[in-house]
Amino acid sequence: MLTWHQRVKQPPLRAFALVTLVAVALTAFFSPSLSAVADGDPIEHGRFLFSYQGCIDCHGPNAEGDVGPKISALDVSLDEFMTQLRTPKDQMDPYPPELLNDADAADLYTFLQSLP
């Protein structure tokens, strides 16, 4: 059995280790939005959830409206927003707390309010 160090000294594995290291470093460097999410920026987290939760599919990439209405710079309170998510008025799929908790919904709201 070769030790890890011995294996890494073998050229193909060494190249692999190097490529992996460079890839990880580059990912960390070029992912400001990911680090913003980690830092707890509500707008960046809301932006992530907007696509992750599929809102983007119906409301458009900038929440400007598509199948669903425009929801950027909403003219509704956070309470009304929550009501729409939990018990939509009409065609929209409901988002129960197991799918989208209150804190995440609040970040989504903050993100949407930050849009023009």
Binding positions for ligand HEC, rule: CB under 6 A: 53-55, 57-59, 67-69, 71, 74, 76, 81, 84, 88-93, 95, 100, 108
Q: Is the Cβ of residue 64 or residue 93 nearer to ligand HEC in the bound state? A: 93
Residue 28 is classified by DSSP as H
Q: Is the Cβ of residue 25 or residue 64 nearer to ligand HEC in the bound state? A: 64
Whole-number minimum distance, CB 48 to ligand HEC, in Å? 12
Whole-number minimum distance, CB 62 to ligand HEC, in Å? 13
How far apart are the C-alpha atoms of 12 and 7, rounded to whole Å?
A: 9
Helix (H) or strand (E) holding 81, with range, is helix 78-86
Whole-number minimum distance, CB 109 to ligand HEC, in Å? 8
Residue 54 is classified by DSSP as T
DSSP string, 8-25: HHSHHHHHHHHHHHHHHH
